[in-house]
Structure 1
């Protein structure tokens, strides 16, 4: 998926972020996916990240970085193998 966030997605992002921090992880699958796709923008496509780096980057958003990491894999945004993660799906914002 590519392109700008639509008005409904922007509303979800405003509801769950305070600045760059995630205030809560949405229970709704559709809202959670919007949040995860936003967070995924910090990870470059084609780059492999050790789990430690993923944890650090996700921890900037929310203290439960393990849950965010698991949700990213479950949503197909991240793939993982032997403690290494990479972007494998989700929205890609074009500059």
Structure 2
């Protein structure tokens, strides 16, 4: 499998060490791949999460949980209520 730039797509596991992210990718394609992986593996599709729950889940992966949370919402992988009190996985 290759990405739209002609390069090979590397497994997300290459970004993890002992289950934690070593870095948050800067490249859009790689970051999108990571965010989709986090959506699928960390969040159940049929439940709501409080902001505190989302933070705790993401803190288990990387100390910059707020960047990951914001990125998941901006990518449309998590939805957030207008007041920011509740989050849901998309898809």
Please indicate the TM-score interval, normalised by the length of the shorter structure. Answer: 0.7 to 0.9
Of structures 1 and 2, the larger Rg is shown by 2
Q: Which runs of no fewer than 5 residues in structure 2 stay unpaired?
A: 3-7
- The TM-score, its normalising length taken from structure 1, stands at 0.79
Give runs of ≥4 in structure 1 deviating > 4 Å: 6-9
Q: Which runs of no fewer than 5 residues in structure 1 stay unpaired?
A: 1-5, 90-95
Q: Alignment length, in residue pairs?
A: 83
Provide the alpha-carbon RMSD of the alignment: 1.7
- The TM-score, its normalising length taken from structure 2, stands at 0.82
> With CA pairs under 8 Å and 6+ residues apart, which has the higher RCO, 1 or 2?
1
CA-to-partner distance for each residue in 1:39-91, whole Å, 9 max, x for gaps? 112100021000000000000000000000000001100000121100114xx
